[in-house]
Amino acid sequence: MEIHEVEIQNPEPVNVIVGQAHFIKTAEDLYEAIANSVPGVQFGLAFCEASGPCLVRGEGTDAGLRELAMKNALRIGAGHSFLVLVRNAFPINLLRALRGVPEVVTLFAATSNPLTVLVAKTGRGRAIVGVVDGEPVKGAESEAQMHERRALVRRMGYKL
């Protein structure tokens, strides 16, 4: 087995969600879940089939994000994996809906940080074994930084 690092190409950057699912209707179901979660969300998604023609299937509301999602998915090449690129929404607004899609098995990442997908290659195929999300931890927050963090999420409207 070999482990490869696949750096997600994300030039803007936009938010990226990476997961695994299990059925050909996944691409359409993910599209519906995202489109119904946040009005005006712009996104592109790609789903890698694991049987039959083994194609990368794409959907989305933004052609550029759809194309970029498909390019990243082709580079990952792991069957039943999916990648979503999102603009005008935070992943926190989409994750519950994505987890509710019956064929979604797991979510590996939801971030706007630089993202590396760790892909194992075997004689049979490829699989996502994990992700590297952002940079290494540099220390623990101070009291002032804790208050700043709490104030930020309240300004954003995620806490009262």
Tens of pLDDT along 31-56?
999 999 999 999 999 999 999 999 99
Tens of pLDDT along 120-156?
999 999 999 999 999 999 999 999 999 999 999 999 9
Question: Taking the model in full, what pTM does it have?
Answer: 0.94
- pLDDT of 30 > 90? The answer is yes
- The superfamily CATH assigns to domain 2-155 is Ta1353-like (3.40.1520.10)
* Bond preceding residue 53 cis, omega within 30 of 0: no
Tens of pLDDT along 105-125?
999 999 999 999 999 999 999
Residue 60 makes CB contacts below 8 A (sequence gap 6+) with: 31, 43, 44, 45, 66, 69
Which pair of tokens denotes residue 56? 């990368």
- Mean of all residue pLDDT scores within the chain: 96
Cα 33 from Cα 109, distance rounded (Å): 17
Taking the domains of the chain in order of start, what are their residue ranges? 2-155
What is the reported pLDDT for 16?
Answer: 98
